[in-house]
Chains A and B, each alone.
Chain A
Amino acid sequence: NAGVMQNPRHLVRRRGQEARLRCSPMKGHSHVYWYRQLPEEGLKFMVYLQKENIIDESGMPKERFSAEFPKEGPSILRIQQVVRGDSAAYFCASSPRTAGANVLTFGAGSRLTVL
């Protein structure tokens, strides 16, 4: 069981470009969560998805950010027209059911640097 796989591990973009971060959940997990980690700010919830559905996107910025979890393939977090403030580590986590009492399994993260 390969665990939660995130790629790329490191991504460098110039201001105005697009960033696409991918997350393959653990086998058998149909719930995916995205978090953003900024220095000294801890982990901020962004979005919670199940296959083909966005369940909770209350932590997503209203513009430029979007997420999907298609029926086939990985979940994707997309950031359009990146700005320096988007530089952060983005973590994906998965669980077999809604979080509740369930432990989240985290990927190693994708570190985005915007020049």
Chain B
Amino acid sequence: AQSVTQLDSQVPVFEEAPVELRCNYSSSVSVYLFWYVQYPNQGLQLLLKYLSGSTLVESINGFEAEFNKSQTSFHLRKPSVHISDTAEYFCAVSELDSSASKIIFGSGTRLSIRP
């Protein structure tokens, strides 16, 4: 069975500073990896995903994540954050080639941006 660990429950940063949200996963089979974002009082929205190919994936709003198979990590980064990035971020994993696949989420990292 797969699992996801997000070590940082909260990450406070100043506006325009860089940020990294850490994610490690565990699985006995190959996986797909995702980052979802949850703004206050809303459901989750996909931020970016890694399915195959280039290990570096990017979102439209400046976030990127790199799949590192040897370290079983999929850390999320942004070189300069904005107030509007304030949200909770969830790393998630699902198994390849499963006929009954589900997505397992980490416990989330709350990103708070200080002006």
Contact B43 A107 (CB under 8 A): yes
0/1 interface trace, chain A 88-115, chain B, CB 8 Å (1 if under): 0001010000111101101111000000
Contact A106 B43 (CB under 8 A): yes
B61: interface (CB < 8 Å): no
Which of A56, A98, A103, A109 makes the CB contact (< 8 A) with B43?
Answer: A109
Residue ID in chain B nearest A6 by CB atoms: B43
Total contacts A to B, CB within 8 angstroms? 67
Across-interface contacts of B97 in A (CB, < 8 A):
100
Instruction: Bin the interface of chain B by size.
Output: 20 to 34
Main secondary structure of the interface of B (DSSP, over half): loop
CA distance A107 to B45 in the complex (A): 10
Instruction: Bin the interface of chain A by size.
Output: 20 to 34
A85: interface (CB < 8 Å): no
CA distance A35 to B36 in the complex (A): 14
